[in-house]
Homo-oligomer: A and B are copies of this chain.
Amino acid sequence: MPPMITDTMHSPFARLQPISLTDVTLDDTIWAVRQQQNRTTILPYQYGVCESTGRIDNFRLASGKIQADFRGLFFNDSDVYKWLEAAAWALITPDAELTKTVDNLIQEIAAAQGDDGYLNTYFMFDKAAERWQNLTVMHELYCAGHLIQAAIAHQRTTKNDALMQIARRFADLICATFGADKRPGTDGHPEIEMALVELYRATGEKRYLEQAQYFLDARGYGIIGGAEYCQDDMPFRERKALAGHAVRALYLCAGAADIFMETGDVALLQTLETVWQHTVTRRSYVNGGIGSRHEGEAIGSDYELPNASGYGETCAAIASVMWNWRMLQITGSGLYADVMEHTLYNAVLPGVSLDGTTYFYTNPLANDGTHRRQPWFECACCPPNIARTLASLPGYCYSVSPEGVWVHLYARNDAKLTLPDGREIMLDQTTRYPWHGAITIELASVPTDNTFSLFLRIPAWCEDGARLVINSDVYTGELIPGTYLEIRRAWQLGDMLVLTLPMPVRRIESHPNIVENHGHVALQRGPILYCVEGVDQPNIDLDTLVLTENDFHADYEPETLSGVVVLRGHAATMTRPQAWQQQLYRTYKPARLLQTRVPLTAIPYFAWANRAAAPMRVWLRG
């Protein structure tokens, strides 16, 4: 979750400060629709599955309300907490039925908590003796982290502290249990670091921050086994590149960024910048996905980015968004906003079907049509992670700083923002972004002391000349892709900015070291990555397509895939390249042209696999 500060302290080492989730009302055709779907479809469905799979019964049996065996996997409590966090954020829109469900669930959780504050439904009764005995594997601190995050969200949106009391009792037990002079330990799956820092922000209790620091710095000395998979192979500060389990690695980076924001521990920021740079230049998919290996759900080595066999777990994409969000808050650098936006549209959004009922756990960039979203998973980390991300999305649109307002994400919305000095500013953002590059921002309310800055993000993808008009005056300064443009002036009510970000269809090529993309291109328009899906070209082997020209028309089609811009153009078809068997060199066999011009349709990658099963490719010969 983004560090959603409302009535809490500000992070002293972050240049930007987050806004409140209630400050922004989205009204766009992607995120607002998903938020609505989250409330009407996703949250009710996921709650039902949590009941039917025993995830909530596990709490009831822990409290003695029912007699049964624990059902499911040892970390299933976290799914309930993630659902609860999502529901809590969703309650910015009042909903009596959801409130009742949440309150009842909190009662079940409260009843399951031990007298000492311990809370994990797997380690009850005969398993109680095993508590804290296997931190490497058993996820107790991981689950605690999700409980804490849910509690903070619930308190912030409802002002009710029932869940917060539970979370703090458990957090206090954890602080009393683990430490350099107490029991050594840290969790095999990072997560609690972010939660404890946010609990510090929410309560002002420094021991939570110190506990997060302890858990981070305890890594790398083998106390949980020393595996790269668990981020225990080296001290975090010595890391030069992300490695091991992708979600673990990225959650840890997000937690370290949180710790830096509060402590100013520069070595942490240097490590984060080093591994970030390495990740975006060596170990990221073109959709922003991270993690190439099924084995160990691991980040691969440099340039190891296979398309069909790629992993790209949805949770890793969410984790990358969380990390980049924090880096953006720390620095105010557009580099991080670019990765965050790109990952949201092209690696998080594909994780849920257009109707909100099924989910991708892994996200390959090429498939034969057999990879389809599922309603749920035995290891169900991704579905409620998507739910809490969708529910908290308005918070990612803006930040504030002493200078003024930072506009990160373009999407139709009304915002009422409060600067750190208390001045209130209202903005109306009107746009059809990401489908169209024109964005109008009107100052709907301006404080008496009216001199402040608007920081407009100029996306890195906007290589074709962004333009800005302010009240019909053309802005003549430079608009540099990948940076924020600061416009500082004495603003008047009704001032109007029109930012235009041209969106030609761009062919993307990848670094020559990504072997299988050699001679291939991907299509991107604005922030949206495209793919071709067999549904749209039923009689063509996608591997024979060659993008010899870039003649695409890009039109919004309201009836296609719930409304997207579809690219329609042409391609040639060639003979398939022959497979390489046991040969290192062979006589060159040029591909033979089959047809010079066949119609080609490309759809947003996030929308693939929402129609009949069919092959899909992101990279095409070109």
Residues of A bordering B, CB below 8 Å: 277, 280-282, 284, 286, 463, 506-516, 518-519, 521-522, 580, 582-589, 622
- Of the residues B509, B580, B588, B622, contact of A586 by C-beta under 8 Å: B509
- Of the residues B284, B511, B521, B587, contact of A580 by C-beta under 8 Å: B511
Q: Answer whether A584 and B512 are a contact pair too, CB < 8 Å, given A518-B519, A519-B519.
A: no
Q: Bound state CA distance, A512 and B581, in angstroms? A: 11
Q: Are A508 and B587 in contact (CB under 8 A)?
A: yes
- CB neighbours of A509 from chain B (8 A): 585-589
Q: Are B584 and A510 in contact (CB under 8 A)?
A: yes
Q: Bound state CA distance, A585 and B284, in angstroms? A: 9
Q: Which residue of B lies closest to A520 (CB)?
A: B588
- Of the residues B507, B516, B587, contact of A463 by C-beta under 8 Å: B587
Smallest CB-CB A-B distances: 7 pairs: A507-B588, A509-B588, A518-B518, A521-B588, A506-B587, A286-B585, A281-B582
Q: Are B511 and A512 in contact (CB under 8 A)?
A: no
A267 CB → nearest B CB, Å: 23
Q: Answer whether A282 and B584 are a contact pair too, CB < 8 Å, given A518-B518, A518-B519, A519-B518.
A: yes
Please give the count of copies of this chain that the complex contains. 2
A109 CB → nearest B CB, Å: 43
Q: Which residue of B lies closest to A516 (CB)?
A: B512
Pick 24 A–B contacts, CB within 8 A, sort by A: A277-B582, A281-B583, A284-B584, A286-B584, A286-B585, A506-B587, A506-B588, A507-B587, A507-B588, A508-B585, A508-B586, A508-B587, A509-B585, A509-B586, A509-B589, A510-B584, A511-B583, A511-B585, A512-B580, A513-B515, A515-B515, A515-B518, A518-B518, A588-B622
Q: Bound state CA distance, A589 and B508, in angstroms? A: 9
A551 CB → nearest B CB, Å: 14
Most B CB atoms within 10 A — which of A513, A583, A585? A585
- CB neighbours of A522 from chain B (8 A): 585
Q: Bound state CA distance, A510 and B584, in angstroms? A: 6
- CB neighbours of A582 from chain B (8 A): 277, 281
A449 CB → nearest B CB, Å: 42
Q: Bound state CA distance, A584 and B506, in angstroms? A: 15
A463 CB → nearest B CB, Å: 6
Q: Bound state CA distance, A25 and B566, in angstroms? A: 74
Q: Which residue of B lies closest to A518 (CB)?
A: B518
Q: Which residue of B lies closest to A280 (CB)?
A: B584
Q: Bound state CA distance, A521 and B281, in angstroms? A: 28
A480 CB → nearest B CB, Å: 16
- CB neighbours of A515 from chain B (8 A): 512-513, 515, 518
Q: Bound state CA distance, A511 and B286, in angstroms? A: 24
Q: Bound state CA distance, A341 and B281, in angstroms? A: 43
Q: Bound state CA distance, A519 and B519, in angstroms? A: 7
A404 CB → nearest B CB, Å: 30
Q: Which residue of B lies closest to A342 (CB)?
A: B585
- CB neighbours of A284 from chain B (8 A): 584
- CB neighbours of A286 from chain B (8 A): 584-585
Q: Bound state CA distance, A586 and B481, in angstroms? A: 13
Q: Which residue of B lies closest to A513 (CB)?
A: B515
- Of the residues B281, B513, B584, contact of A511 by C-beta under 8 Å: B584
A257 CB → nearest B CB, Å: 21
- CB neighbours of A580 from chain B (8 A): 511-512
Q: Bound state CA distance, A473 and B89, in angstroms? A: 90
A286 CB → nearest B CB, Å: 5
Most B CB atoms within 10 A — which of A286, A516, A580, A587? A587
Q: Bound state CA distance, A516 and B303, in angstroms? A: 14
- CB neighbours of A586 from chain B (8 A): 508-509
Q: Bound state CA distance, A507 and B507, in angstroms? A: 29
Q: Are A512 and B518 in contact (CB under 8 A)?
A: yes
A335 CB → nearest B CB, Å: 11
- CB neighbours of A519 from chain B (8 A): 518-519
A526 CB → nearest B CB, Å: 13
Q: Bound state CA distance, A622 and B590, in angstroms? A: 9
A523 CB → nearest B CB, Å: 10
- CB neighbours of A280 from chain B (8 A): 584
Q: A508-B586, A522-B585 are in contact. List 20 more A-B contacts (CB 8 A).
A: A280-B584, A281-B583, A281-B584, A282-B584, A284-B584, A506-B587, A506-B588, A507-B588, A508-B585, A508-B587, A508-B588, A509-B586, A511-B580, A511-B584, A513-B515, A514-B584, A515-B518, A518-B518, A518-B519, A521-B588
